[in-house]
Amino acid sequence: MQAGGFIFKLAAWIFLACIVVQVFIAGLATFSDTSNWGIHRSFVKCFALIPLLMFLLTFVSGVKGTKRWLSLGLFALVVFQFLTIQVFSSTGLIAALHPVAAMLLFWGSVITVRNNPKEIRAKS
């Protein structure tokens, strides 16, 4: 596997781990100490651009097909996450999609880290 493919895979695993940690922090804020909401808001800034980096890496790493578009979809979901809180927080119905989008981020991340040799091709 090329270096770009390795970096893509590493970024996918890091993003998945960050999603799990982010959900854990939200749980802490909900069930333990509300001051953890500040950590929840800050931590996302550390990993929000990883899916965009992954998408860009697909063009130089030989990653094609589903994983290319999943990484772009993950980035779109991250943007949607920001919007549900920053723009639509006063609209309860849309803001309530925030945890649903988190579940989709987790699911998409799991699919992205799964090995599928047919989708990772070395560039000629």
Residue 10 has pLDDT above 80, yes or no: yes
Structural domain contains residue 118: no
Structural domain contains residue 50: yes
3-state secondary structure of 117: helix
Look up the pTM and report it: 0.87
Structural domain contains residue 56: yes
Structural domain contains residue 121: no
**Full residue range of the structural domain in which residue 85 is found:** 3-111
Structural domain contains residue 13: yes
Distance CA 14, CA 94 (A): 28
Residue 117 has pLDDT above 80, yes or no: no
Structural domain contains residue 18: yes
Contacts of 41 (CB under 8 A, 6+ apart): none
Tens digit of each residue's pLDDT (9 = 90 or more) over 43-88: 999 999 999 999 999 998 888 888 999 999 999 999 999 999 888 7
Give the tokens for residue 45: 């800034």
Show the DSSP H helices in the chain as ranges. Answer: 3-31, 36-47, 50-61, 66-86, 92-95, 98-113
Q: For residues 12 and 112, is the Cβ–Cβ distance under 8 A?
A: yes
Contacts of 103 (CB under 8 A, 6+ apart): none
Structural domain contains residue 64: yes
- How many domains is the chain partitioned into structurally? 1
Distance CA 17, CA 86 (A): 24
